[in-house]
Amino acid sequence: MTTTIPTGRHFLQIPGPTNVPDSVLRAMAAPTIDHRGPAFSDLLAELLHDIKPVFGTAGPVVIYPASGTGAWEAALVNTLSPGDRVLCFETGHFATLWQEMATRLGLVVEFVPGDWRHGASPEAAAERLAADTEHRIKAVCVVHNETSTGVTSRIADIRRAIDATGHPALYLVDTISSLGSLDYRHDEWGVDVTVSGSQKGLMLPPGLSFNAVSDKALAAAETARLPRSYWDWTPILGANATGFTSYTPATNMLYGLREALRILYAEGLENVYARHARHAEATRAAVRGWGLEVLCKDEREYSGVLTAVVVPDGHDADRIRDLILDRYDMSLGAGLGRLAGRVFRIGHLGHTNDLTLAGTLAGVQMGLRASGLDVGTEGINAALDVLGRPAAPA
Q: Does 271 bind ligand PLP (CB under 6 A)?
A: no
Residue 253 within binding range of ligand PLP, rule CB under 6 A: no
Residue nearest to ligand PLP (CB): 68
CB 167 within 8 A of CB 148: no
Among 121, 147, 153, 307, binds ligand PLP (CB under 6 A): 147
The smaller minimum CB distance to ligand PLP, of residues 1 and 104, is found at 104
Residues 354-383 interacting with ligand PLP (rule: CB under 6 A): none
Identify which of residues 177 and 211 has a Cβ nearer to ligand PLP in the complex: 177
Rule CB under 6 A: is residue 174 a binding residue for ligand PLP?
yes
How many CB atoms are closer than 10 A to CB 376? 14
Instruction: Give the separation between CA 311 and CA 218, rounded to whole angstroms.
Output: 45
Based on the shown chain and the rule CB under 6 A, indicate whether residue 176 belongs to the binding site for ligand PLP.
Answer: yes
CB 68, min distance to ligand PLP, A: 3
User: Which of 27, 107, 142, 143 is the binder for ligand PLP (CB under 6 A)?
Assistant: 143
Between 67 and 165, CB nearer to ligand PLP: 67
Residue 304 sits in the site that holds ligand PLP (CB under 6 A):
no
> Which listed residue (23, 48, 65, 67) binds ligand PLP by CB under 6 A?
67
Q: How far is the CB of 67 from ligand PLP (least distance, A)?
A: 3
Stretch of 33-41, 52-60, 171-179, 376-384 lying at the interface with ligand PLP (CB under 6 A): 171-179
Contact between 297 and 114 (Cβ < 8 Å): no
Our finding on whether 202 is near ligand PLP (CB under 6 A) is no
Q: Dmax over Cα atoms in the chain, in whole Å?
A: 63
Among 64-72, 104-112, 275-283, 352-360, the segment contacting ligand PLP (CB under 6 A): 64-72
Question: Is position 69 an interface residue for ligand PLP (rule: CB under 6 A)?
Answer: yes
Binding test (CB under 6 A) with ligand PLP, winner from 79, 177, 181, 365? 177
The values of phi and psi at residue 338, to 5°, are -70, -5
Comparison of 67 and 331: residue with beta carbon closer to ligand PLP: 67
Residue 211 touches ligand PLP, criterion: CB under 6 A? no
User: Minimum CB separation from ligand PLP for residue 60, in Å?
Assistant: 21
- Determine the distance from the C-alpha atom of residue 189 to the mean position of all C-alpha atoms in its chain, rounded to a whole number: 17
If binding is defined by CB under 6 A, does position 23 make contact with ligand PLP? Answer: no
Long-range contacts formed by 361-367: CB under 8 A, 24+ apart: 361/282, 361/283, 361/286, 363/11, 363/324, 363/328, 363/330, 364/286, 364/309, 364/324, 364/330, 364/332, 365/286, 365/290, 366/324, 366/327, 366/328, 367/320, 367/321, 367/323, 367/324, 367/327, 367/328, 367/330
Please provide residue 375's backbone torsions phi and psi, each rounded to the nearest 5 degrees: -105, 0
Size of the site for ligand PLP (CB under 6 A): 12
Q: Please select the residue that binds ligand PLP; options are 119, 197, 201, 363, rule is CB under 6 A.
A: 197
8 Å CB contact between 86 and 138: yes
Closest to ligand PLP by CB, 280 or 386 = 280
89 binds ligand PLP (CB under 6 A): no
Binding flag, residue 331, ligand PLP (CB under 6 A): no
Query: By CB under 6 A, which span of 56-64, 65-73, 247-255, 349-357 interacts with ligand PLP?
Result: 65-73
Residue from 68, 289, 304, 367 that binds ligand PLP (CB under 6 A)? 68
Residues that bind ligand PLP (CB under 6 A): 16, 67-69, 94, 143, 147, 174, 176-177, 197, 206
